[in-house]
Amino acid sequence: MAIKMYDLAGAEENRRFSPYCWRIKLSLKHKGLDFDTIPWRLTEKPVIAPYNSERVPVIVDNGRGVADSWTIANYLEDTYGDRLALFGSKSERALARFYNQWTDVTLHGAIGPIVVADILPHLDTRDRDYFRTSREARLGTTLETLSARRESYLSALHQVLEPLRQTLAAQPYLAGDTPRYPDFIVFGAFQWARSISNVRLVQPSDPIESWRQRLLDAFGGFARRAPGYW
Amino acid sequence: MAIKMYDLAGAEENRRFSPYCWRIKLSLKHKGLDFDTIPWRLTEKPVIAPYNSERVPVIVDNGRGVADSWTIANYLEDTYGDRLALFGSKSERALARFYNQWTDVTLHGAIGPIVVADILPHLDTRDRDYFRTSREARLGTTLETLSARRESYLSALHQVLEPLRQTLAAQPYLAGDTPRYPDFIVFGAFQWARSISNVRLVQPSDPIESWRQRLLDAFGGFARRAPGYW
């Protein structure tokens, strides 16, 4: 039976913009596991409450619910160890954690102010008030103010991306010759931005962009087929 | 025959403050290889010119010179593959590269303005003019101006360290239960600061500090015995 996955959706049902959900969709593809996504909106917390989560991704595999992207990635690796590895070894799994935290804190923190105002018009109308109120409280300013400062946020992002740029100038994927979970973690951040904002975060000549294009092409163009701007 | 390593020294011969040299000294200890360090000053470029390098670390192993910390770490892993692993697998080696670039660019970039003025009085007198001129050009301001802004740089560093903090709150080392090269890369940055500045970069309650203490204790207290402030 295919795995079910609750996946954050916008007003358009096929606009899926959660970076955490993207990590898991690419991981499921990487392991060659069948799955169906269920579109989920920010205000539909009761739907996933049975799985002890207020956020997506949540997967349901053979009746068992698993929440939180890091927990799900570990569950998939442990449960489907005969499939292509997401981590490969115990120490590789440990090394992946810093990629996870760096992406959650530093990379998302740098991308957020650039794209957050563009999320609003893509949201289901039921989600818009909740989104504006919660995000403006978290960011400490209005969405419009953030948009006005976009150029300076883009410049700060360019600096944040420099270690990633240098790494991907030296090798095709973060995990080497082929992608593994750390690649999917970082790629999720770009897929989030791509799905809701037409602001290009990386230029065509950037090694990060070449890597992103390779992952857009992966799994028969799975990530590229998703609605997005660039 | 013991490996020779050119190691950046201050006015006091045993004050060794290069973060790149610390990466390699801990790697040599990790592999249980005998080595002797040769104190080297910034203005002694002719001494290492035969090894096609203007910077340390440079090691000489059985008459063969190898320069650049990343290159040396790879050389040690490939040459002494029967010893304890610095990387462990091809993909772990690839994953280590982002730690290397993140430390070089982001972490050193955040620590530098905090400690750079404290380096000057520790330098060999021959090195001081060169150091002030080259660093002020690179940082675009005087060493004294940087010191005056120290509080704001400390606050920025605290943010930069957050992904590291979250990672080390979840596991004892970046590589998991035991340290590997990515731990030595990041630790080198703290060893640099410890050796030349009395400004504590992390507080005792910080998981990063617990990890740092474990590495100061490693190899019979090798890194702790080096002159340092905290």
A98 touching B (Cβ < 8 Å): yes
Residues of chain A positioned with their CB less than 8 A from the CB of B91: 88, 92, 175-176, 180
pLDDT 10s digits, B28-45: 999 999 999 999 998 899
Q: Is the pTM of this model over 0.95?
A: yes
Residue A93 near chain B (CB below 8 Å):
yes
Give residue A75's pLDDT band: very low, low, confident or very high (50, 70, 90): very high
The residue-averaged pLDDT of A120-147 equals 91
Report yes or no: A101 at the B interface, CB cutoff 8 Å: yes
Contacts of B105 in chain A (CB under 8 A): 162-163, 166
Over residues A134-153, mean pLDDT: 92
Which band of pLDDT confidence, cut at 50, 70 and 90, is reported for residue B124? confident
DSSP-assigned states of every residue in chain B: -PEEEEEEB-SSTT-B--HHHHHHHHHHHHTT--EEEEEE-TT-HHHHGGGT-SSS-EEEETTEEEESHHHHHHHHHHHTTTS--SS-SHHHHHHHHHHHHIIIIIIHHHHHHHHHHHHGGGS-HHHHHHHHHHHHHHHTS-HHHHHHTHHHHHHHHHHHTHHHHHHHHHSSBTTBSS--HHHHHHHHHHHHHHHH----SS-TTSHHHHHHHHHHHHHHHHHHHS----
pLDDT band with cut points at 50, 70 and 90 for residue A101: very high
pLDDT digits (tens, 9 = 90+) for B44-81: 999 999 999 999 999 999 999 999 999 999 999 999 99
Q: How confident is the model at residue A227 (pLDDT cuts 50, 70, 90)?
A: very high
Please give the single-letter amino acid code of residue A17.
F
What pLDDT band is residue A20 in, cutting at 50, 70 and 90?
very high
Chosen for mutation from B71, B90, B95, B99 (greatest number of chain A CBs closer than 10 Å) is B95
Whether the CB-CB separation of B126 and A125 falls below 8 Å is answered with no
Test B167 with A90 for CB contact under 8 angstroms.
Answer: no
Residues in chain B with CB shorter than 8 Å from the CB of A167 are 97-98, 101
The verdict on a CB contact (< 8 Å) between B167 and A92 is no
Residue B136 backbone phi and psi in degrees, to 5: -65, -35
ipTM of the complex: 0.96
Please state, in angstroms and rounded to a whole number, the distance separating the CA atoms of residues B123 and A117: 50
